[in-house]
Amino acid sequence: MRTYDEYKRIVDDALPSALPDAKGYGAAVIEAARYSLLAGGKRLRAVLVLAGCDFMGGNVDNAVSAALAVECIHAYSLIHDDLPALDNDDLRRGQPSCHKKYGEATAILAGDGLNSHAFLLLSMGLRGDPDHADGHLAAMHTIAVAAGFLGMVIGQAADIALTSKNIDKKGLAFIHTNKTTAMIRASLLAGLYIGGASDRELINNFANYGAQIGLAFQARDDLLDATSTAQQLGKTPGKDKQANKASCVSLLGIEGTKSRVTMLSDAARESLAAYGERAAFFVKLAADLANRRD
């Protein structure tokens, strides 16, 4: 297995050619999509795709299209999330958010285009690697489920519906499981499938790991939102409190949220205990995500 930075470099090198050229009537929309897609970021979901494939002994080159696809979906979700009708945020990754730079109509279309383009990339991955067609189809299915009405979109809808409501831990868990965790878990499973995974026990263990690091990631996000500056985060802090949104911090407090991050990170490590040293990359990742600062 490679390091996080090595997988990230593969993604960062391939991303600039993931979109069509910005020309003709589509020039502004594609330029806006490119602006958001190439603005940086940790590339966590794409790294999980590549690492999942590598763990299975698959050829990482065959998973690159799927890795770019999950970054396209992630970029679309951030563009739409920043819109005035949703979170109304002017800042993303330390730069003006997409609609601030290109206007709302162009930003909406850029997000729509990125979402569709993700599935074109997934189909290109399948066509380029026909010997593992079943794995690519399973990856495509898993990502479609996690991105749409059974995952991220429904999580975002619940987030809106429950804002300013007196929600409990169960309501918050529903939002976090769908809005954030679904795509993190699905990215890892997609990589495993492309790498040839079919053993149910292995898939379940990694699904548990993906869910646990996803929830830890969101709990850490809530903590950073409550305690960091805009410069540290590259986005506006304090949004949860300002928008009257429930978060781990509002329900558990700062110390309670820290304990939750540690508990979930430990549980993630336990989920992969059966694989010993072979799972070292994922064990380190769970610990690193629990301590992340942006």
Q: Which tokens belong to 66?
A: 């799927």
Q: Which tokens belong to 175?
A: 């939002």
CB of 76 vs ligand GRG, minimal distance in Å:
7
**Closer residue to ligand GRG (CB): 80 or 185:** 80
| Contact region with ligand GRG (CB under 6 A), list: 73-81, 120-128, 246-254, 271-279 | 73-81
**Closer residue to ligand GRG (CB): 97 or 156:** 156
CB of 168 vs ligand GRG, minimal distance in Å:
20
CB of 146 vs ligand GRG, minimal distance in Å:
11
Q: Taking CB under 6 A as the rule, which mask of x and - marks residues 208-237 in contact with ligand GRG?
A: ----------x--x----------------
Q: Which residues contact 75 (CB under 8 A, 6 or more apart)?
A: 33, 36, 37, 111, 114
> DSSP string covering 81-146, please?
HHSTTTT--SEETTEE-HHHHH-HHHHHHHHHHHHHHHHHHHHHHHHH-GGGHHHHHHHHHHHHHH
- Scanning 129-247, the segments in alpha helix (DSSP H) are 133-147, 152-162, 169-176, 182-194, 200-227, 230-233, 239-242
* The binder of ligand GRG chosen from 36, 62, 65, 77 (CB under 6 A): 77
| Contact region with ligand GRG (CB under 6 A), list: 152-160, 189-197, 199-207, 244-252 | 152-160
* The binder of ligand GRG chosen from 10, 18, 36, 81 (CB under 6 A): 81
Q: Which residues contact 24 (CB under 8 A, 6 or more apart)?
A: none
* The binder of ligand GRG chosen from 78, 98, 172, 190 (CB under 6 A): 78
CA distance 209 to 267: 8
CB of 77 vs ligand GRG, minimal distance in Å:
4
**Closer residue to ligand GRG (CB): 59 or 88:** 88
How many angstroms separate the Cα of 108 from the Cα of each of 74, 76, 256? Answer: 14, 9, 37
| Contact region with ligand GRG (CB under 6 A), list: 20-28, 78-86, 100-108, 128-136 | 78-86
CA distance 113 to 109: 6
Q: Which residues contact 164 (CB under 8 A, 6 or more apart)?
A: 244
CB of 191 vs ligand GRG, minimal distance in Å:
16
How many angstroms separate the Cα of 140 from the Cα of each of 76, 121, 130, 185, 294? Answer: 17, 10, 14, 13, 29
| Contact region with ligand GRG (CB under 6 A), list: 38-46, 123-131, 202-210, 260-268 | 38-46
CB of 234 vs ligand GRG, minimal distance in Å:
7
Q: Taking CB under 6 A as the rule, which mask of x and - marks residues 82-111 in contact with ligand GRG?
A: -----------x------------------
Q: Is 42 in the site for ligand GRG (CB under 6 A)?
A: yes
**Closer residue to ligand GRG (CB): 81 or 129:** 81
Radius of gyration of the chain (CA): 18
User: Which residues are at the interface with ligand GRG (CB under 6 A)?
Assistant: 41-42, 44, 74, 77-78, 80-81, 93, 152-153, 156, 179-180, 218, 221
